[in-house]
Amino acid sequence: MEDLSLHILDIAENSVSAGASVIQIKITEDIKENVLLVEISDNGEGMDENAVKAVTDPFFTTKAERGRRVGLGIPLLAQAAREADGDISIVSEKGRGTTIKARFQHDHIDRKPVGDIAMTLTILISANPEIDFVFEYKRNDQFYEVDTREIREELEDVPINDPAVIKFIKDSISKWLSDTKSIMLE
């Protein structure tokens, strides 16, 4: 994976497979604390204790019953975090959902760039119009949020994955990111 937005897409796809109806994606960039946090939480089927222990093992997958033997998504994210002097944590409860957090040292030379997060989010929304997404991005004291439940309410019977709506969401995120870019360089 080239950047964190691809890892986020990959982990969020697990949430989709877990039958989540709401998926929350949070990114926090705190320059003073020199930390970048990524958090993906869902209300999907969750995992029991053994599964949580096993998911960081590259040879474990929840899809064993379908004949597949490896699941590399979480191990790859864990590796990316470790390379930037960070770590990951997984909290999950059967029937309640899963939260995965990854922490990175912000200025670490091996910390992967965030990448095209607007693309990741809009692809998730357009491929899964039945799922609600809450996206939060914090850069120091600046805060951005998209909640598809609010957008849906406003759209009434226009589908959330209509190309015009998707473009609107994408442009809005990109604009905020470019507006706040300068505070990341201080």
Enumerate binding residues for another protein (CB under 8 A). Answer: 1, 6, 9-10, 13, 16-17, 63, 67-68, 71-73, 76, 119-120, 122-123, 126-128, 142-146, 150-151, 154-159, 162-169, 172, 175-176, 179
Q: Angle, to 10 degrees, between the axis of helix 148-155 and the axis of helix 163-179?
A: 130
Q: Provide the minimum distance between the beta carbon of 89 and another protein in the complex, in angstroms, as a whole number.
A: 20
Rounded Cα–Cα distance for residues 17 and 158 (Å): 26
Residue whose CB is less far from another protein, 105 or 174? 174
> Are 138 and 86 spatial neighbours (Cβ–Cβ below 8 Å)?
no
CA distances from residue 21 to 33, 92, 97, 141 in whole angstroms, order as listed: 33, 16, 10, 30
Q: How far is the CB of 169 from another protein (least distance, A)?
A: 7
* Residue nearer to another protein on the CB measure, 79 or 105: 79
Instruction: State which residue, 16 or 91, has the beta carbon closest to another protein.
Output: 16
The least CB distance from residue 28 to another protein, in Å, is 16
Task: Identify the sign of the CA torsion 87, 136, 176, 161.
Answer: positive
Could you tell me the two tokens for 47?
């995992």
Closest CA to 19 of 126, 137, 121, 98: 98
Name the minimum Å distance from CB 104 to another protein. Answer: 19
- Our CB check for another protein shows the closer of 30 and 105 to be 30
